[in-house]
Amino acid sequence: MLLVPLATGAAVGLLAGGRVVPILLLTTAVLALFWLRTPTESWLGTSAVRAQTLEERQLLRNVILPLATIAAASLSALFWQGKNRELIGLGMIAGGAFAAQILLKKMGRRMRMAAEVVGALALTSTAPAAYCVATGRLDTRAWALWLVNWLFAADQIHFVWLRIRGARAAGWSQKFTVGWSFLAGQILLGGLLALAYYFSWLPELALLAFAPILFRGFAWFPTRPQPIVIRRLGWTELAHALIFGVLLTAGFSFVR
């Protein structure tokens, strides 16, 4: 949810004649900030794993300070002489999404999936950011890259939760009881993509990138129940993400 949008935005931007160096700087800053999140939450005591001893706090400082320095240096280079100011707006939206995610998590276990979907909105902001720093533009293509990456990530999150909750569901009726909201989301996603195709809002090949996840989502309901293997599920969803990224990049870059 972080690297695939970053890669798609960067690839589309580079194939449109963008620059490599700003993408490398953005990638460095994004990774440093992402790695900062867990130790910072532990330092502040807002995560499940908290620093409690002096030695643990010292270890966190030794991790936080270098990462913060790298992130600050990379961002300073990106914003040098007033460049890439559009990233400020994207950062504010992503920050607001992360804040909303924290609030949703505090509302209990029932809101955990919603919190992950909202958090994905922040993570997938790397797609328009990469495209923007590469091309110097935050245009409709950048916003479209963000939207489709977030829709894909939201569907993946919902499907993983469905597989966990429906691990023991047998038969159509039990699966529908567990997964009716996911099925509704699949239908809604398919409808949105059909509208995008009809009004030519997105390239056809970019729309085709959603075909594998739509198929696997609908196919789960009539298939026989199978024991869930988390590692296999993770690798399968990673494969879907890579296929999505390749087709999406090709759709935005090569189809006019």
57 and 74 fall within a common domain: yes
Look at residue 48 in the predicted model and tell me its pLDDT.
Answer: 64
Look at residue 170 in the predicted model and tell me its pLDDT.
Answer: 79
Look at residue 47 in the predicted model and tell me its pLDDT.
Answer: 65
Give the domain-ending residue among 81, 113, 138.
Answer: 138
Question: Rounded CA gap, 109 and 191, in Å?
Answer: 30
Work out the pLDDT band at 105, boundaries 50, 70, 90. Answer: confident
Which region among 51-55, 153-157, 243-247 has the lowest average model confidence (pLDDT)?
51-55
Number of domains in the chain: 2
Look at residue 229 in the predicted model and tell me its pLDDT.
Answer: 82
Distances from the Cα of 215 to the Cα of 28, 144, 207, 240, angstroms: 35, 23, 13, 11
Question: Rounded CA gap, 21 and 136, in Å?
Answer: 12
Work out the pLDDT band at 46, boundaries 50, 70, 90. Answer: low
150-178: pLDDT as tens digits: 999 999 999 999 988 888 887 888 898 99
169 and 59 fall within a common domain: no
186-229: pLDDT as tens digits: 999 999 999 988 888 888 888 899 999 999 999 999 888 777 88
At residue 7, does pLDDT exceed 70? yes
Indicate the helix (H) or strand (E) that contains 104: helix 86-106
116 and 159 fall within a common domain: no
10 and 131 fall within a common domain: yes
At residue 43, does pLDDT exceed 80? no
133 and 155 fall within a common domain: no
Look at residue 44 in the predicted model and tell me its pLDDT.
Answer: 72
203 and 170 fall within a common domain: yes
User: What is the reported pTM?
Assistant: 0.89
242 and 185 fall within a common domain: yes
Give the domain-ending residue among 78, 105, 138.
Answer: 138
64-81: pLDDT as tens digits: 899 999 999 999 999 988
Look at residue 256 in the predicted model and tell me its pLDDT.
Answer: 52
Give the domain-ending residue among 93, 120, 138.
Answer: 138
Q: Answer yes or no: are the C-beta atoms of 189 and 214 closer than 8 Å.
A: yes
Give the structural domain span for 93.
Answer: 1-138
Q: How many CB atoms lie within 10 A of CB 45?
A: 10
The whole-number average pLDDT for the span 20-36 is: 93
